[in-house]
């Protein structure tokens, strides 16, 4: 199977993309990446929006319904790889920021103020 091709699988009234393909759709279209399922899902009504974005970015894709290939587009292999690398970096940063947000929620107002003051002093140096 081509590792430079984003794969979409239709299940009922939804499409799903798994693993790296899901992270790419999360990055490009803002769909929620569900880590425990390792996937992104979106309603079938959004498929045209997804296709237009992938084709504009020249990213190859294959669409499957029940193990049957129903549609495909051949883009540029390096585009998939570039978008994947950027998507993985951004997703990692997003996870790190979410961990920080969780920690910040347990701090006192004084502790938060001290952290913010330190950050601002570094930013505006």
* Cα separation values, 12 from 8, 39, 42, 45, 70, Å: 13, 16, 11, 12, 15
* Whether this model's pTM surpasses 0.85: no
Q: Check pLDDT > 80 for residue 125.
A: no
The band of 94, judged by pLDDT with boundaries at 50, 70 and 90, is very high
Structural domains of the chain, ranges and CATH numbers in brackets: 6-123 (3.40.1170.30)
Question: pLDDT at position 2, please?
Answer: 57
Per-residue pLDDT tens over the stretch 98-123: 998 888 888 888 998 998 899 899 88
Whether residue 47 contacts residue 29, with contact meaning beta carbons closer than 8 Å, is answered with no
Per-residue pLDDT tens over the stretch 37-77: 899 999 999 999 999 999 999 999 999 998 899 999 999 99
End-to-end distance of the chain based on CA atoms, in angstroms? 50
Task: List the one residue out of 30, 28, 32 whose CA is nearest residue 6.
Answer: 28
Question: pLDDT at position 1, please?
Answer: 52
Question: pLDDT at position 36, please?
Answer: 86
Question: pLDDT at position 11, please?
Answer: 92
Q: How many CB atoms lie within 10 A of CB 82?
A: 13
Q: How would you classify the pairing of strands 68-73 and 61-65? A: antiparallel
């Amino acid at each position: 199977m081509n590792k430079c091709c984003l794969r979409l699988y239709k299940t009922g009234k939804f499409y799903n993309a798994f693993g790296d393909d899901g992270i790419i759709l999360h990055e490009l279209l803002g769909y929620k990446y569900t880590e425990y399922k390792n996937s992104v899902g979106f309603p079938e009504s959004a498929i045209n929006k997804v296709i237009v974005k992938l084709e504009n970015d020249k990213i190859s894709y294959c669409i499957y319904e029940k193990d049957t290939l129903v549609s495909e587009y051949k883009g540029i292999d390096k585009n998939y790889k570039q978008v994947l690398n950027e998507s993985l970096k951004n997703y990692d940063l997003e996870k790190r920021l979410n961990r920080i947000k969780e920690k910040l929620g347990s701090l006192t107002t004084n502790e938060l103020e001290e952290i913010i003051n330190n950050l601002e002093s570094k930013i505006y140096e």
